[in-house]
Chains A and B, each alone.
Chain A
């Protein structure tokens, strides 16, 4: 699976949009981009995923560049409860071992009042 690069930490003001970048320059054509977040002492929470089109759900939007070498997770109106470590992971879907997630260090997002 392709590796990802994320900034180690970011700050965001409460109520503003949080834009979290991720580089995945070696991504393959059949690899999806997944975003999870982990609030302290809890299991990771699924946020969103995409292949090449931009995606939006009730939690966030995912913008994937046309060459698919990078993506941005957007939390439109960050709240204090969005403070967490955000992980960007690329993986191949399918197969018995396909789909395993390899976690990097992620981005620690601090939302400040």
Chain B
């Protein structure tokens, strides 16, 4: 149990385009999901907290208009990177918090912006 999926697993896009990443909790409902990104040889950095049915809360320094987060259901959150640039290339990882308060992570999405 406690499986979280992400789609796509990797994506390559042109600079200036937008990319949507989906995060799904497959066997449990998650009122709270989190989005992280990770640059090579660095630790995970929390970007935002996403609560079902309400606006996301962004960490300091993360542009909310660039990283649009939608949490429309108890099993799905999406992250849209708008007008992507090469510096947005990174490994994006989501997690979903279970009712027992444990966070389970997705496998990650590798984004490459050319």
Contacts and interface: CB of A to CB of B under 8 A. Distances in A.
B78 interface: no
Contacts of B101: 93-94, 99
A38 B32 CA distance: 21
Nearest to B102: A46
A101 B108 contact: no
B64 to A, nearest CB: 15
A77 to B, nearest CB: 24
A93 B46 CA distance: 17
Nearest to B103: A101
B105 interface: yes
Contact of B46 (A87, A102, A106): A102
Interface-central residue, A36, A43, A46, A103, by most chain B CB under 10 Å = A43
A68 interface: no
Interface in A90-110: 93-94, 96-97, 99-106
Given A43-B106, A43-B108, A100 B34 contact: yes
A43 B44 CA distance: 10
Size category of the B interface is: 20 to 34
Contacts of A36: 105
Contacts of B97: 99
B60 interface: no
Nearest to A95: B32
Contacts of A101: 34, 46, 95, 103
B2, B44, B46, B97, most chain A CB atoms within 10 A:
B44
A30 to B, nearest CB: 12
A35 to B, nearest CB: 11
Contacts of A34: 102
Nearest to B51: A96
Nearest to A36: B105
B32 A42 contact: no
Lowest 8 A-B CB distances belong to which pairs? A43-B105, A103-B44, A93-B101, A103-B43, A44-B105, A43-B108, A43-B107, A43-B93
Interface of A: 34, 36, 38, 41-46, 49, 87, 93-94, 96-97, 99-106
